[in-house]
């Protein structure tokens, strides 16, 4: 317990020194889904699901080179892990923006170190992240293997007038309703299966009682 408190204090100090907005609020829970290389969902106490945007970084979009690799990297790092979220703010999409740590690993820093995300310069001047980005670029790691990788904020504005907007947050819960589905065969995604398990109590979706529904979808 003491080590966790000390660790949190050091994290807050590090964020303050880096000039990063720090909220007094800290969230904890289990990572139940990963949308892309910088966005995940945390299941908190009371079966409350919170969508979290990793602070200070911007990962390639789904249709952008290295977009799928970036997402898979975050899946490997975070999915089903116990997460601590140091909250910065809530963004215009209704997502929590915060620094996320899973198993002692800073998700933002590791994605940048792997060359699978940029430092989001419009929102962060974190010297530590910038140094990791420079290291990944020098090593031509991940997306830096491309001769001229396009940052996501430019990709979203597109080339030749084509606009690729940042995807609006997925809110499928509004389209799901308890009682509509009851078997894994009817589920179209892991998030949908988790909704029916945690929000509707469809226990048959978790046959082995390990907390993970429809293992074929939620592997």
The token pair at 70 is: 């970036």
Query: Is 61 an active-site residue?
Result: yes
Distance CA 89, CA 131 (A): 25
Q: Which of 51, 61, 113, 114 is catalytic?
A: 61
Length of the chain: 219
CA distances from 131 to 44, 118, 184, 195 (A): 33, 11, 45, 39
The token pair at 211 is: 């907390």
Q: Which of 30, 95, 128, 156 is catalytic?
A: 95
Query: Is 53 an active-site residue?
Result: yes
Sign of the dihedral defined by the CA atoms of residues 202, 181, 217, 62, in that order: negative
| H-type alpha helices, the chain | 2-17, 67-78, 107-113, 127-138, 152-155, 190-198
Query: Is 133 an active-site residue?
Result: no
Q: Which of 4, 30, 51, 53 is catalytic?
A: 53
Q: What is the set of active-site residues?
A: 53, 61, 95
């Amino acid at each position: 317990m003491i080590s966790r408190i000390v660790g949190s204090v050091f994290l807050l100090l590090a964020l303050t020194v880096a000039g990063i907005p720090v909220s007094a609020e800290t969230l904890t829970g289990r990572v139940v889904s990963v949308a892309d290389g910088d966005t995940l969902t945390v299941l908190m106490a009371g079966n409350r699901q919170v969508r979290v945007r990793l602070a200070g970084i911007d990962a390639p979009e789904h249709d952008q080179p290295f977009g799928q690799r970036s997402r898979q990297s975050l899946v490997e790092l975070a999915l089903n892990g116990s997460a601590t979220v140091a909250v910065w703010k809530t963004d215009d999409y209704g997502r929590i923006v915060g620094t996320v740590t899973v198993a002692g690993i800073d998700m933002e820093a590791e994605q940048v170190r792997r060359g699978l995300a940029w430092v989001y310069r419009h929102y962060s001047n974190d010297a530590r992240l910038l140094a990791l980005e420079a290291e990944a670029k020098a090593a031509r790691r991940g997306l830096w293997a491309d001769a001229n990788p396009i940052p996501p904020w430019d990709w979203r504005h597109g080339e030749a007038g084509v606009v690729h907007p940042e995807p609006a947050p997925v809110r499928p819960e509004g389209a799901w309703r308890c009682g509509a589905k009851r078997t894994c065969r009817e589920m179209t995604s892991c998030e949908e299966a988790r909704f029916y398990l945690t929000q509707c109590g469809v226990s048959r979706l978790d046959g082995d009682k390990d907390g993970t529904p429809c293992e074929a979808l939620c592997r």
